[in-house]
Amino acid sequence: MENNLEQDFEIKLLGISGSPRKGNSLFLLEQAMEAAVKQYPKRVKTEICTFGQTPFAPCDACGAHKRLNGECRIKDGFQDLRDKWLDADAIIYSVPVYHMGIPGQVKCFIDRLGNSLGYYFSDFMPGDPVFHIPRLLKAIGSITQGSHIFAGQEHAQAFLNTHAMIMRCIPVPGDLWESYIGAGGWTEVSPKVSALKTLAEEGKTDAQIAVRSAQSLGKRVVEMAMIIKSGLKANNALLKEQASYLPLLATIEKKGSLKHS
């Protein structure tokens, strides 16, 4: 069995660009995803979603998801992105810094994701449904960039890493020294969508660091996803005694998804 672990699993890598523009967030996200594919061309399947101009409604605390088996009552783009999120083994968020944090649109998605998924896996848990997010163990990386230096990049990364932990996933940074808890950069005050790309091509050190840290983060996120899937398979017999691992182990056994069918 051990000899087959490496070939067993394709890694589904979802990139989420949290900007309404096709700009610097998307540029760094593509750097991360392309680096992962270049390193592991036969293992990685990628998809990129961008937030675009379509708004995600905020959570209105209706509580309906408790009786809807974890479904969010508000029907908009949320369900589509939620399904892609559930389907992925590895996720990279790339967001612009807004007011030293993440953009409101991304927070709207994350609020609804965290709240509704608390009742999404109730079928696997013994007893009456209670709020519980089982071990989802997705590898999650965070890329953030803004116009200014020291202007919220790390705050936003820390928030996204915290989100990863709440979702019982694993936050994964790139390599030191360029990446401490995520990847990031600044556009040297330029508002242009192509600012970071241009600066990197001009040889500007900070932009090149942003690109390199995104690239190492992309590779490390995929590697962590590989380690998790192979480790789950190797320890299946022990872990299936714990209800919190059952949804994920079911996907390993059936090579399926966490999504409701």
Ligand X SMILES: Cc1cc2nc3c(=O)[nH]c(=O)nc-3n(C[C@H](O)[C@H](O)[C@H](O)COP(=O)(O)O)c2cc1C
CB of 158 to ligand X, least distance (A): 14
Contact 32, 196 (CB under 8 A): no
Between 194 and 230, whose beta carbon lies closer to ligand X? 194
User: Per-residue string for binding with ligand X, 19-38, x by CB under 6 A?
Assistant: x-x-xxx-------------
Q: What does the alpha-carbon distance between residue 144 and residue 153 come to, in Å, rounded to a whole number?
A: 5
In single-letter form, the type of residue at position 194 comes to: S
Nearest approach, Cβ of residue 30 and ligand X (Å): 12
Does residue 143 contact residue 92 with C-beta atoms inside 8 Å?
A: yes
Tokens coding 231: 């480790």
Distance CA 162, CA 1 (A): 35
Q: Residues in contact with ligand X, total (CB under 6 A)?
A: 19
Q: Does 185 bind ligand X (CB under 6 A)?
A: no
Minimum distance from residue 23 beta carbon to ligand X (Å): 2
Closest distance between ligand X and the C-beta of residue 51, in Å?
10
Sequence-distant (6+) residues with CB within 8 A of 142 are 92, 93, 95, 156, 157, 160, 161, 164, 171, 181, 182, 183
For residues 258, 138, 64, 75, the Cα torsion angle rounded to the nearest 10 degrees is -80
One character per residue 129-158, x = contact with ligand X (rule: CB under 6 A): ----------------xxxx--xx------
Kindly tell me which of 115 and 213 has the beta carbon lying closer to ligand X.
Answer: 213
Q: What is the C-alpha to C-alpha distance for residues 182 and 204, in angstroms, rounded to an integer?
A: 20
Task: Rank residues 147 and 257 by Cβ distance to ligand X and give the closer one.
Answer: 147
Q: Which stretch binds ligand X (CB under 6 A): 36-44, 127-135, 185-193, 216-224?
A: 185-193
Q: Which residues contribute to the site for ligand X (CB under 6 A)? A: 19, 21, 23-25, 96-100, 145-148, 151-152, 187, 191, 193
